[in-house]
Amino acid sequence: MSSQSSAGFFTGFTKLCKGLAVVLVGGHILVQLLPAAASVLALIPARTIPFAWNLVTAGYIEQTVHGVVVSTLGLLFMGKLLEPVWGSKEFLKFIFIVNFLTSLCVFTTAIALYYITKEENYLYMPVSGFHGVLAGFLVGIKQIIPEQELYLLKLKAKWLPSLMLLLSIIISFFTAESAAYLPALIFGTHMGWIYLRYMQGKPETKFRGDPSDDFAFSSFFPEFVRPVINPIASIFHRMLCGRSEGSSDGHGYTLGDAPLPGSDPIEATRRRERGARALEERLAAEKLAASQSVVESKKDDASENV
């Protein structure tokens, strides 16, 4: 029975995610067969000005075996949950935007660090990988099923991005490779949140974003830190929304007495309900497929015995 359940766990991947997984595996094989390709496709800040396309291509190039394994599995499993809720077009748009903005932030940070430290390593070290988008996926899971408890970790899904960043920061003190991944994880998390908070379109309405209090920037931090985080976060909120204020009564953002577009918290609630419903339907389908496999297996055993 457990083997059949495991088989169900490894099924149901979407065609888009399978196609993107092929791109990740193909990119890894390419740089292994032609190492010089990494100098063109990976993000090398000193060469980004003439080779601007590496702001896009770097996210799909994994240079290590464990990197391509983690990225491929993360894409397949998280994509299986997110794509049915967002839709294929929005899912692909999220990947492209978060990947590009993450690469742009990493490039800017590398240039700034070079001017501060005068270390040329920041300019010529190839940086690539899908981990920035994976960090953004965790933010998406936080958005649609925040209260879903993970069976193995006994942890609610809303804490996944925060836990991932905390562990990454701790590990970065001990290994140089982890430290190289850290900027992309931080920027991927933040860019994923900005896109989902302020920019993501909803096919059923003309509004954008998710203004709910449960998805505020301070929700990534423990309760006792939020009084310090909220004033800082409000500065960036005003930069993105103009002279707007987050209402404390749960009715979303307002400009004077009029609500801003995309500020209906009911829509945010509906989105989370759709996410939870999609997860329940997927789990039910996998359970049904596993039970049917068990029945068929028993029938085959019985016919063989006869």
pLDDT of residue 176 exceeding 80, the answer is no
Find the mean pLDDT for residues 234-254.
Answer: 55
Beta strands, E only, the chain:
149-150, 155-156, 245-246, 253-255, 258-259
Find the mean pLDDT for residues 297-305.
Answer: 56
pLDDT at 180: 80
Amino acid at site 57? T
pLDDT at 210: 85
- Which one is predicted more confidently, 110 or 176? 110
Q: Looking at residue 281, what DSSP letter applies?
A: H
Amino acid at site 145? I
Amino acid at site 208? R
pLDDT classification of 65: cutoffs 50, 70, 90: very high
Find the mean pLDDT for residues 117-145.
Answer: 93
* DSSP-derived 3-state class of residue 3: helix
pLDDT of residue 188 exceeding 80, the answer is yes
CATH number of the domain at 2-222+267-305, please? 1.20.1540.10
CA distance 198 to 208: 6
pLDDT at 240: 66
pLDDT of residue 89 exceeding 90, the answer is yes
CA distance 111 to 92: 29
Q: Which alpha helices (H) appear in the chain, and where do they start and end?
A: 2-9, 15-33, 38-41, 54-57, 65-86, 88-117, 121-124, 131-144, 160-172, 176-194, 226-241, 265-305
- Which one is predicted more confidently, 266 or 1? 266
Compute the half-sphere exposure of residue 166: CA atoms within 13 Å on the CB side of its CA. Answer: 8
CA distance 198 to 152: 32
Find the mean pLDDT for residues 9-30.
Answer: 89
Find the mean pLDDT for residues 19-43.
Answer: 94
pLDDT at 175: 81
Find the mean pLDDT for residues 226-237.
Answer: 84
- Judge contact between 62 and 132, C-beta under 8 A: no
* DSSP-derived 3-state class of residue 9: helix
Find the mean pLDDT for residues 192-200.
Answer: 91
pLDDT at 257: 40
Amino acid at site 209? G
Measured CA distances, 30 to 24, 60, 71, 73, 293 (Å): 10, 11, 16, 19, 38
Compute the half-sphere exposure of residue 110: CA atoms within 13 Å on the CB side of its CA. Answer: 25
| Burial (CB count <10 Å: 0-12, 13-18, 19+), residue 250 | exposed
Q: Map out the domains of the chain as residue ranges.
A: 2-222+267-305
pLDDT of residue 259 exceeding 60, the answer is no
> Taking all residues of the chain, what is their mean pLDDT, rounded to a whole number?
80
pLDDT at 172: 87
- Judge contact between 101 and 191, C-beta under 8 A: yes
